[in-house]
Structure 1
Amino acid sequence: MSVDSVCHAGFHHGLRQPDQILTMRLGHCPPAIDWERFDAWLAEKLAIPIQRTVAGGASGHEATRLMGRILQVAAALQYAAHIPVFEPGRILSCDADPAQEGAWIFRVAVAQVDFMAADLTSLAYNTATTLVLEVAADLARFADPEALYRQLQEHLMQPLERALPAGKSSIHLLRTAHERGIPWRHLGHCVFLLGWGRHALRTRLGKVETDALLGAHAAQHKFMAAQWMRQMGLPAPEHRLVADEAGALGAAEQLGWPLVVKPADRDRGEGVTVDVGSDIELRRAFQHALGFSEQILVERPAPGVCHRVLVVRGRVLYTVRRQPVSVEGDGRRTVVECIRDANARRQSIPLWDRPPPYPSDAPACAALDRAGLTMSSIPAPGTWAPLRPIESTEWGGRDEDFSAALHADNAAIAIQAASLFGLDVAGVDIISPDITRPWHENGAVINEVNAAPSLGASQSSLETLPALMALLVAGDGRIPIEAVVGAGTAWHKARARQAHWAAQGRACYVTSHAATEDAGGNPMPLAVSGLFARCMALLMNRHVEALILLVQTDELLETGLPVDRLDRVERIPDEPVSLRSTHPLAAREATDRLHQFLLAAAKIEI
């Protein structure tokens, strides 16, 4: 397989993501493929439901049907590694290989993510090709896919994740944007741009750029955050910041037992020990926390359970009670049998999506003991046997939705806490014995305010992502973008369209490959050249409310469009565009071809 050289990630072939061209060769097709069983295997073992239209349907020849599945598997594996590839691509051509009978050469257009190395793209599609051919040839060999999972994890998923460690929050946000038709681009270093011009918003790992930097820094440090909240009259934990074991023991004398010991500046439950009830346990908990931070909190536990309240721009979107990892009883099986069966079910999940196994170790026995259970207990139907004292990223957990039951006073302090730290997206953790009752009646406290809450981690979070996106990005995040094709007098037409948008109160900018004018018609120097690069620069400019592209060269035939669609295309009659010296077409042919390309982008019949 080879990847055509591209200078920019542009839109060429009607995909909703920037695309690139791959040349792929199938040297052979396994005989007599049972497509129904093969597709069922992909759905069951890799969680990839096959779209028959992409895969060539029943009418396509074997090679086309295989290539359709290769494209879908490659896209799905990249997505599973948190690479934002949301569509499988398109087969552009399929030709018999003149060098070998039975071999086929395909040209395909597939999604290209900015700043992803070409060798990793090749790795994804070569891996998918090998996987599809081997499984199709001998399905029985992969009845137990565990060895395949481990091979894919080591040789594909981990390299992809290292190349773009965007994380789950980013992939869920981008998927929501894609489904809502909101344009996005990768700006590098896991920073993504949502929307264009005046609607543009940058985000990274669950953070949005409109979050206050100082507030996010303060929220990250639990001791400082509690000080801020107390000064605002919000309920906060009672704790002491200590630097050594002697300080921890002194804090215990002041606060009393039991205690919670945790790092002051870490998230996700890292380094936390609960139910500390003696000097020995305190020393052990202090050393455990010290492995994560030099700043340790010794804290009096608040009554109740932690509840995550997601606040987005002053609105509560959901509330979940965060329970520790547990197994559900059925009145027949012991706890250890429930653990065994639950782990067996998890083994069928692909390795990269598989949660940690349910534990049956000493901490699990201790958590059961606190609940009045043992490994030999038989929990009643519908009851849960806890295997850890609290929910954490390391151990996992389960969420119970309390969105409809959240008391208005508790919602109010969550919103106030997010506002205090200047966070547009905040995960406010309230420890309460009953979140349906006001915080001032039952001793509830705000335990933490998280500046980069995990998005899409629970069903409640997934279901509210469209509402979250609507609060972050206006409409579909787009601005009107038009193209005027032609040479000399095309500038007059472009300025006339600029005046049209100005009359509607929109700041409209105009750019060609060589010059850019702002909404007032003033020259706007830019440190980039070419129509593609100038358009990209303006899409990042929040002063831009509409944009006219003055197409005077055939550059876009090579780079592709910088946007996935145009709102309007107009051609100045009898004015061919100027040619780039490397392009072989004559002036009139180039203009005609370019015009047709732009009309297709505007979804106008040619």
Structure 2
Amino acid sequence: MNVSADFPALKIIGSPGEMAGFIYGLKYPSLLILLQGNGEKNHSWLADVNRAFASRPEIAEGEADLPLLLPDVSLTEKIALSILHWMGRLYSAAGVPVYENGRKVMEEPDESLVMIAVTTLSFLHKESLNIFSWLLEIFNLAAAEKDYQLFLDELAKIKKRLSPAACMLKNTERFLKESLRRRIPAVSLAGDIYQYGYGSRSRLLESTFTDSTTSIGVHFARSKTSASCFLRMAGIPVPEQRIVRNIRDAEIAAEEIGFPVVVKPADLDGGIGVAAGLDSIEEVRTAFTAAFRESSNIVLEKHFEGHDFRLVVFQDELIFAVERVPGGVTGDGRSTVRQLVDQINSDPNRGDGERTLLKMLDLDEEALLLLGKKRMDAESVPPAGEFVKLRRTANIATGGSPLIASDRIHPDNAVLAVRAARLFRLDLAGIDLLITDISRSWFEIGCVICEVNAQPGLGGITSSHLY
């Protein structure tokens, strides 16, 4: 007789307890759940259901890791630990900032009862219990040799239900992981606002906004026109800039300033709608149309030919510098552009997901246009060592790559970045600097600051130490 056909392999006893504080050594709020097994010893089905979860794309790109189940623990515990494992993977896939799986906290000598603590967030107890119950149902169906595929197919919906609890900003996720590593308590207050630590020494962060960031500085920095005027007033080099309200304005401004030029929204971050290195009226028209789809506030400015650097300033000190290399390929004398792009995209850090560190590089219209300017196409073979740009802007979100530059920055350039951050009264800022050689003084070779970021993305590959 199959016992699990009449009684579930595992069921919840009583009402789960919501623990707002941290217990049993956990670093998160938790749900205390008492589970009762049915005494069944056969667990041949357990590996199958775990493999079914591991193969789901909603859980992870590629094959997810399986739960570690020791052979000498009870079936009740194995099921419970499997469910905790997949809850953790669901949290991770949905971007929920819970980076510690729950654990067993008590088991009866006869192994029929086990109590577990399910990690969650202070406002997520109810949803976590619903998801735990859904997972439990799948495991019970598998134990009873019944079809659980319809339940498993709800993974995408379950993941979407967790989205309100996800970190909206990558910086927040990285700060939370580092606070966990350093055993600094982090408490969710609202959205991406977290309190780190307790009492008088605690700090509030919303991504890289701190409790000392000034609202006036943020206001100025977020307006590219205001920021440019403010920097120019202080004698800090900026590109010549014009507000353009329509295509005709953009054409006139480009002719007056002189090619090449840049077109970009005045009120958006992250490289959205930015087109650089435009050297014809037709390109300006196309760029203005694309930028206007993103924002009605458009500026046109003189293009400065140089390398793109993000200089991170914290409390009047330059703490990090990174060069942002535009998406492109470096020739080896043998491979075509298409093959070189495929090689770059094979980097495991690259992907199309929201949480990948680097983005895939596509041979799209922009890439083919830039290739055409060099009288090349996707099947051309660049000479060894030659870098071929496939993106106009050095943006990581469009396939660019970061290179650490902290050890080669000239002191004058570091002072300039600190001056810019101090001008905006920002305790933490990302200064975007264009210069031909970061190791030489801007007094000697010139430069421009094209943007001041009041809430800078700090990155993940080259700058994990900043968190």
- TM-score bracket for this pair, using the shorter chain length: 0.7 to 0.9
Q: 1:349 to 1:432 in 2, by over 3 A?
A: closer
CA-CA distance at 1:62 after TM superposition: 4.5
2:419 matched to which residue of 1? 416
TM-superposed deviation, 1:106:
4.2
| Residue equivalent to 1:212 | 214
- The one-letter code of the counterpart of 1:408 is P
Contact 1:306 1:429 in 2 (8 A): yes
2:104 aligned partner, one-letter code: I
Counterpart residue number, 1:92: 105
| Aligned counterpart, 1:188 | 190
Secondary structure, aligned partner of 1:74: helix
Mapped contact 2:351–2:360 kept (Cα < 8 A): no
Which stretch of structure 1 is more off in the superposition, 170-179 or 365-374?
365-374
Q: 2:30 aligns with which of 19, 41, 52?
A: 19
1:30 and 2:32 correspond: no
Distance 1:8 1:389, change over 3 A: same
- Deviation of residue 218 (structure 1)? 0.3
Aligned to 1:113: 121
Deviation, structure 1 residue 431: 0.8
Identical columns (%):
29
Aligned residue for 2:451, secondary structure, equals: strand
2:298 pairs with 1:296: yes
2: CA distance between counterparts of 1:328 and 1:58?
51
* Alignment of 1:407 onto 2:410: yes
State the partner residue of 1:305.
307
Question: In 1, Cα distance between the equivalents of 2:258 and 2:139?
Answer: 60
Structure 1 pair 344/22, CA: closer, same or farther in 2 (3 Å)? Answer: farther
Residues 239/340 of structure 1: CA separation in 2 closer, same or farther (3 Å cut)? same
Residue 364 of structure 1 deviates from its aligned partner by 1.3
What is the DSSP-based 3-state SS (H/G/I as helix, E as strand, rest coil) of the residue aligned with 1:459?
Answer: coil
Alignment of 1:52-67 (within 5 A): 55-67=68-80
CA distance in 1, matches of 2:299, 2:377: 31
Query: Which 5+ residue runs of structure 2 have no aligned equivalent?
Result: 1-10, 146-151
Counterpart for residue 316 of structure 1: 318
**Which residue, out of 4, 13, 20, partners 1:9?**
20
Determine if the alignment matches structure 1 residue 159 to structure 2 residue 161: yes
2:412 partner letter? D
CA distance in 1, matches of 2:305, 2:350: 38
SS of match in other structure, 1:169: helix
Letter in 1 for 2:456: P
Q: Normalising by structure 2, what TM-score?
A: 0.82
The 2-side partners of 1:413 and 1:79 are apart by 40
Q: Which residue of 2 aligns with 1:584?
A: none
Q: 1:213-228 maps to which residues of 2 (within 5 A)? A: 213-228=215-230
**How far is the alpha carbon of 1:446 from its aligned partner?**
0.9
CA distance in 1, matches of 2:70, 2:352: 26
- Secondary structure at 2:277 match in 1: strand
Does the 8 Å CA contact 2:18/2:125 hold for their aligned counterparts?
A: no
- Name the SS of the counterpart of 2:311 in structure 1: strand
Corresponding residue number in structure 2 for 1:601: none
SS in 2 for 1:84: coil
1:269-418 to 2 correspondence within 5 Å?
269-327=271-329, 329-343=331-345, 353-354=355-356, 356-370=359-373, 373-379=376-382, 384-392=387-395, 394-418=397-421
Aligned to 2:149: none
After superposition, the Cα gap between the structure-2 partners of 1:88 and 1:132, relative to the gap in structure 1 and judged at 3 Å, is farther
**Contact 1:43–1:49 (CA<8 Å) still a contact in 2?**
no
Per the normalisation by structure 1, the TM-score is 0.64
Distance in 2, matches of 1:383 and 1:108, equals: 58
**For 2:394 and 2:36, how far apart are their aligned partners in 1?**
49
- TM-aligned CA distance change 1:299 to 1:19, over 3 Å: same
CA distance in 2, matches of 1:336, 1:281: 25
Instruction: Give the root-mean-square deviation of aligned CA atoms.
Output: 3.9
- Cα deviation code 1:48-83 (max 9, x no counterpart): 586xxxx45343245434533432342243134332
Q: How far did 1:325 drift?
A: 2.2
User: What secondary structure is seen at the aligned counterpart in 2 of 1:186?
Assistant: strand
Match of 1:256 among 252, 255, 258: 258
SS in 2 for 1:410: helix
Q: Which amino acid aligns with 1:81?
A: A
Give the aligned residue type for 1:416: R
The amino acid that maps onto 1:446 is: I
Q: CA deviation at 1:172?
A: 0.3
336-345 or 26-35: bigger deviation: 26-35
The alpha-carbon deviation at position 266 of structure 1 amounts to: 0.7
2:462 is paired with a residue of what secondary structure? helix
Matched positions, count: 443
The equivalent residue for 1:79 is 92
Q: Over residues 73-122 of structure 1, what are the superposed CA-to-partner deviations in whole Å (9 max), with x where a residue is unaligned?
A: 4224313433221211211245699xxxxx97643112231223622553
Q: Deviations over 1:123-168 (max 9, x none)?
A: 277459859998xx9xxxxxxxxxxx9975x334443233444321
Q: Secondary structure at 2:294's aligned position in 1?
A: coil
- 1:350 shift after superposition: 9.4
The aligned runs of 1:549-588 (5 Å cut-off) are none
Provide the rounded CA distance (Å) in 1 between the counterparts of 2:330 and 2:75: 46
Q: Secondary structure at the match of 2:175?
A: helix
What's 1:597 paired with? none
1:123 maps onto 2:131 in alignment: yes
Say which of 424, 444, 449 aligns to 1:441: 444
Deviations 1:364-414 (A, max 9, x none): 112334566431133456665432222336423111111100111111111
- Please say if 1:70 is aligned against 2:78: no
Q: Distance in 2 between matches of 1:239 and 1:13?
A: 59
Structure 1 unmatched runs, 5+: 98-102, 138-148, 466-606
Instruction: Give the whole-Å Cα distance in 2 for the aligned partners of 1:331 and 1:356.
Output: 25
User: Which string of whole-angstrom CA distances, capped at 9 and with x for unpartnered residues, describes residues 194-230 of structure 1?
Assistant: 1222212111132112111000110001110111111
Asked if the contact 1:70–1:125 (Cα under 8 Å) also holds between the matched residues in 2, the reply is no
1:317 maps to amino acid? I
Q: What SS does structure 1 have at the residue aligned with 2:433?
A: strand
Does the C-alpha gap of structure 1 residues 296 and 349 become closer, same or farther in structure 2, counting only changes over 3 Å?
closer
Deviation at 1:363, TM superposition (A): 1.3
**Post-superposition shift, 1:268?**
0.6
